[in-house]
Structure 1
Amino acid sequence: MMDFFYTPGTCSQAAHILLREAGLAFRAHKVDIFSGKVEDGSNYRAINPNGYVPAIAFDDGTLLTENVALLDWIDAQRTDAGSPTPMERYRHLQMLAFLSTEVHKPFVRMFFTESEDEKTYLRQVLAQRFAWIGSVMRGRHILGEHFSASDAFGYVMLRWAAMVELEVPERLQALAGLIEARDSVRTVLAAEEQELLGMAA
C-alpha cells in the first residue's frame, strides 16, 4: 500500500480527492510543512528532501512528487476515466500545467507578500486566469461532462479564491458546487477538517 503525504487545505488536497475518487488504497500522513514534521513526529525531509507536498511513497521505495505528476498518475489508475485520445491527453496536461503554474503560483505569492500593490496586481492576474478557464470549459466540468484531475485541482484553487474573496465566473461557482457534492470530496474535507464552500451547483 502506498503512503500519501499531504497538508490540509493546500494544493495536495487535489491529489487527496483524486485518490479517493480512484478508490486506491493508501495510508494518509499529515505533514506540517513549516516545521517539516509528519504527524508521527518523523522528519518529512527524510522522505521528500524538497519538503513540500504532495508526495506518494510506493512500497518499492519510489517517491513521486509534483502535483501535476501525481494527478496524472492517479487519473491513469481510474477505471472509470476511459481512454483519452492523444489530443485529449495533451489538453489534460495543458490544464494541469496551467493550474499549477498560472493559478497556484500567483496564489502562493499573494498569501505571503506584504505589498498591497502586489496583492492588487495578483488579484487581477488570477481573475483573468479564472475567466480563461471558464471560457474554455466544454461541459459541466473543466474538460467536458466528466470529472477529471483538472476538476480536483481546479476545485482547490476555487477554495483559495473564496478564501481571499476573489470573484470567479458563475460557471466556475457552479462547478465548485458540483464537485463539492461528490462523496470523495466530502470525505477528504472531513479528513482534512475543512469547511464546505456551499456554492450552489
Structure 2
Amino acid sequence: MKLFHKPGACSLAPHIVLEELGVSYESEKVDLKTKVTESGADFLTINPKGYVPALQMDNGEVLTECQVILEYLGDLNPSQGLIPASGSSARYQAQAWLNFVATEIHKGFSPFFNPATPQEWKDICLANLERRLAYVESELAGKDYLMGDTFTVADAYLFTVLGWAKHIQLDLAKWANLTAYQARVAQRPAIVSVMKAEGLL
C-alpha cells in the first residue's frame, strides 16, 4: 500500500493507523498547490479530486476520503481493535464519531486556512467550532479515548484535527478533558514515529 499525504494534513490520521497496524506500506508527500507528488507524478492522475489522503492498494486501486480510508485500515486486522466489528452497535458509534470529526470539526477548521475567508465568517465559524469541541470535552469525561478504554481510528482522526488549533490561535486549555486526551494520545509510539516522519516533531 502507498499513502499519499501532506504533512500535518488530515492524511496524518491514516498515516498513524498504518503505523499502529504495523503493516508494510509506503508514503509519498503531495504538493497540493502544484498537484505533484514527491516522485514527480501528477497527483490528479492518482486522485482527480486533488486532495489527500489517497491510499493506493497493491492492486492499483485507489481509495479516497479520510474516514473511509480509516475504516478500511481498521478492518485490516480486527484483532487490534482499531475499529469495532462491522454490524455491531459499537461500529455505528465509531462511524458516528468519524463523521462528526469529519463534518463538524475538520470542516470547522477549513475557513481559517482560506485567505479569502472574511473575518466576520471566521468569527461565526470559531463560535461553532468551540461548541463542537465543548461537546467532545463532555463526551471524554471519564474516558481515555472516544470509545472508552480502546484507541480507535476515530481517535487518530480527532488527534490530527486538534493539532490544527495552534495554527489558528485556538487555545484548547479551557477544555481540560480535551487537552489531557491530546497529551495522552500524543504519547503513543506509532504517533510519535509518524509525527517525526512527517517533520512535525
Taking structure 2 as the reference length, the TM-score comes to 0.91
Q: What residue in structure 1 maps to residue 154 of structure 2?
A: 150
Q: What residue in structure 2 maps to residue 46 of structure 1?
A: 45
Aligned residue runs from structure 1 range 133-144, under 5 A: 133-137=136-140, 139-144=143-148
Residue 89 (1) aligns with residue 91 (2):
yes
Can you list the C-alpha shifts for 1:161-193, whole angstroms capped at 9, x where unaligned?
A: 122221331101011111110111111111110
Structure 1 residue 23 displacement after superposition: 1.0
Q: What residue in structure 1 maps to residue 132 of structure 2?
A: 129
Residue 185 (1) aligns with residue 183 (2):
no
Distance (whole Å) between structure 2 residues aligned to residue 90 and residue 96 of structure 1: 10
Distance (whole Å) between structure 2 residues aligned to residue 127 and residue 143 of structure 1: 21
| Residues paired across the two proteins, number | 194
Of 77-86 and 185-194, the range deviating more from structure 2: 77-86
Q: What residue in structure 1 maps to residue 113 of structure 2?
A: 111
Can you list the C-alpha shifts for 1:80-105, whole angstroms capped at 9, x where unaligned?
A: 21754711000000000111111111
Aligned amino acid, residue 92 of structure 1:
A
Q: What residue in structure 1 maps to residue 63 of structure 2?
A: 64
Describe the SS at the equivalent of 1:122. helix
Sequence identity percentage: 31
Distance (whole Å) between structure 1 residues aligned to residue 80 and residue 117 of structure 2: 44
Query: Cα RMSD between the aligned structures?
Result: 1.5
Taking structure 1 as the reference length, the TM-score comes to 0.91
The answer to whether the 8 A contact 1:134-1:172 is kept is yes
Q: Any unmatched runs of 5+ in structure 2?
A: none
Describe the SS at the equivalent of 1:174. helix
The answer to whether the 8 A contact 2:2-2:55 is kept is yes
Distance (whole Å) between structure 2 residues aligned to residue 125 and residue 24 of structure 1: 38
Distance (whole Å) between structure 1 residues aligned to residue 24 and residue 32 of structure 2: 24
Residue 171 (1) aligns with residue 170 (2):
no
Describe the SS at the equivalent of 2:4. strand
Q: What residue in structure 2 maps to residue 102 of structure 1?
A: 104
The answer to whether the 8 A contact 1:55-1:66 is kept is yes
Q: What residue in structure 2 maps to residue 198 of structure 1?
A: none
The answer to whether the 8 A contact 2:111-2:117 is kept is no
Of 115-124 and 74-83, the range deviating more from structure 2: 74-83
Distance (whole Å) between structure 2 residues aligned to residue 134 and residue 70 of structure 1: 26
Residue 28 (1) aligns with residue 32 (2):
no
Describe the SS at the equivalent of 2:156. helix
Aligned amino acid, residue 166 of structure 1:
L
The answer to whether the 8 A contact 1:110-1:118 is kept is no
Distance (whole Å) between structure 2 residues aligned to residue 158 and residue 47 of structure 1: 28
Of 67-76 and 138-147, the range deviating more from structure 2: 138-147
